[in-house]
């Protein structure tokens, strides 16, 4: 089976259209940011407490739970429920975690004497830990990006290619994050992990294409640069689609059947796989093209460059 024989699409000629798409994505992201005011940071970063309790019988009215918690002198909190599970979140201004869960569970139990309650899960993050995790997340991205730039620059003997491939990742990560904010999902360490995975996946794709361009530059030095790039993209297109399809299948399966814990993770991966492919073809490669063309005003120079490079080997 084969999705299609060989294609011959002019990606480079149409690059400006796709730049517009990227800009559109960024606009959506910015709108999401403005609309949501501030990302819905989870307790991992703000500090606070999350309690998940289950009742033996289904709850009819969440209002009673709300009242019970208010009776326990807790003022700022959020409730979330599905069937007999209730999730209570309280951010910041938390003196003692011990007292919090004791007084809340007592207060709730008093209100529902015939509906026994069980604490399924407690997550408490102190403010210092929240700060620590935020810092760690930023470090992780910074050093991962730096590592990738260095490796790609080393392998392709050009810091430009390294920088461009990381630009592609940053593009994907920011837009994926925009989608998280758009649906107001909680931003926690799982989101950070998912974004880093998107980064890893996205660069994977970019490398494959860059490798092919490098190879074609070596053999097809007589063609003009734009054609070489177009040819390379068309050649790896099937592979790109097949691979992202398999990742997409798994991510979708996790998204639909994986349950609440990996739901957000899968959501980001689903978006990330699509973006990873998009940014490689429509962003990274055209950027390399623009840069190379600009660097040596004349196209021929750019071609010769490729020829000289390949002879050096």
**Binding positions for other proteins, 59-78, rule CB under 8 A:** none
Please state, in angstroms and rounded to a whole number, the distance separating the CA atoms of residues 128 and 223. 59
Piece of the chain touching other proteins by CB under 8 A; list 7-15, 70-78, 175-183, 187-195: 187-195
**Helix, strand, or coil (residue 13):** coil
Q: Minimal distance in Å, beta carbon 24 to other proteins?
A: 27
Q: What x/- string results for residues 78 through 97 when contact with other proteins is judged by CB under 8 A?
A: -------------------x
Helices 225-257 and 299-312 pack at an angle, to 10 degrees, of 80
CA dist 88 and 271 (Å) reads 29
Should residue 181 be labelled a site residue for other proteins when binding is judged by CB under 8 A? no
Pick between residue 15 and residue 201 the one whose CB is nearest to other proteins. Answer: 201
- Pick from 117, 170, 262, 274 the residue near other proteins by CB under 8 A: 262
Rule CB under 8 A: choose which of 8, 128, 294, 297 binds other proteins: 128
Measured distance CA(191)–CA(196) in Å, rounded: 9
When asked if residue 228 is in the footprint of other proteins (CB under 8 A), the reply is no
CB atoms within 10 A of CB 3: 10
Among 200, 218, 223, 290, binds other proteins (CB under 8 A): 200
State the nearest-atom distance from the C-beta of 171 to other proteins, in Å.
Answer: 15
Nearer to other proteins, 239 or 295 (CB): 239
- Identified binder of other proteins from the candidate list 27, 245, 299, 301, rule CB under 8 A: 245
Q: Kindly state the DSSP code that residue 297 receives in the 8-state scheme.
A: S
- The first and second tokens of residue 313, run together, are 């080997």
Backbone φ and ψ for 50, nearest 5 degrees, come out as -130, 130
Q: Does 164 bind other proteins (CB under 8 A)?
A: no
Residue pair 172/134 in contact by the 8 Å Cβ criterion = no
- Three-state secondary structure call for residue 239: helix
161 binds other proteins (CB under 8 A): no
Exactly one of 236, 268, 277, 284 binds other proteins (CB under 8 A); that residue is 236
Min separation Cβ 65 and other proteins, Å: 18
Say whether residue 208 binds other proteins (CB under 8 A): yes
Residue choice 265, 267, 282, 289 for contact with other proteins (CB under 8 A):
265
Q: CB within 8 A of 22, min separation 6: which ones?
A: 171, 279, 282, 283
Question: What's the rounded Cα separation, in Å, for the pair 283 and 5?
Answer: 25
């Amino acid at each position: 089976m084969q999705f299609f024989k060989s294609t011959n699409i002019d990606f480079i000629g149409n690059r400006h259209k796709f730049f517009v798409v990227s800009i559109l994505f960024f606009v959506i992201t910015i709108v999401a940011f403005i609309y949501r005011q501030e990302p819905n940071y989870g307790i991992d970063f703000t500090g606070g407490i999350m309690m998940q309790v289950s009742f033996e019988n289904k709850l009819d009215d969440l209002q009673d739970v709300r009242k019970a918690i208010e009776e326990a002198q807790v003022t700022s909190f959020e409730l979330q429920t599905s069937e007999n599970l209730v999730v209570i979140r309280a951010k910041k201004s938390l003196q003692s975690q011990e007292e919090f869960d004791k007084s809340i569970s007592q207060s709730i139990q008093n209100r529902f004497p015939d509906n026994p309650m069980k604490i399924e899960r407690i997550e408490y993050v102190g403010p210092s830990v929240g700060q620590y995790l935020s810092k760690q997340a930023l470090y992780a991205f910074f050093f991962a990006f730096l590592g990738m730039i260095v490796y790609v620059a080393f392998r392709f003997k050009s810091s430009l290619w390294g920088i461009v491939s990381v630009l592609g990742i940053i593009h994907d990560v920011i837009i994926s994050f925009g989608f998280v904010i758009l649906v107001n999902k909680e931003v926690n360490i799982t989101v950070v992990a998912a974004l880093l995975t998107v980064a890893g996946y996205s660069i994977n794709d970019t490398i494959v294409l860059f490798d092919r361009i490098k190879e074609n530059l070596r053999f097809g030095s007589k063609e003009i640069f734009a054609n070489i790039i177009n040819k390379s993209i068309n050649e790896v297109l099937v592979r790109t689609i097949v691979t992202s399809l398999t990742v997409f299948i798994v991510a979708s399966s996790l998204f639909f059947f994986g349950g609440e814990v990996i739901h957000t993770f899968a959501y980001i991966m689903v978006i990330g796989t699509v973006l990873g492919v998009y940014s490689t073809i429509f962003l990274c490669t055209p950027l390399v093209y623009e840069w190379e063309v600009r660097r040596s005003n004349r196209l021929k120079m750019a071609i010769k460059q490729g020829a000289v490079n390949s002879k050096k080997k």
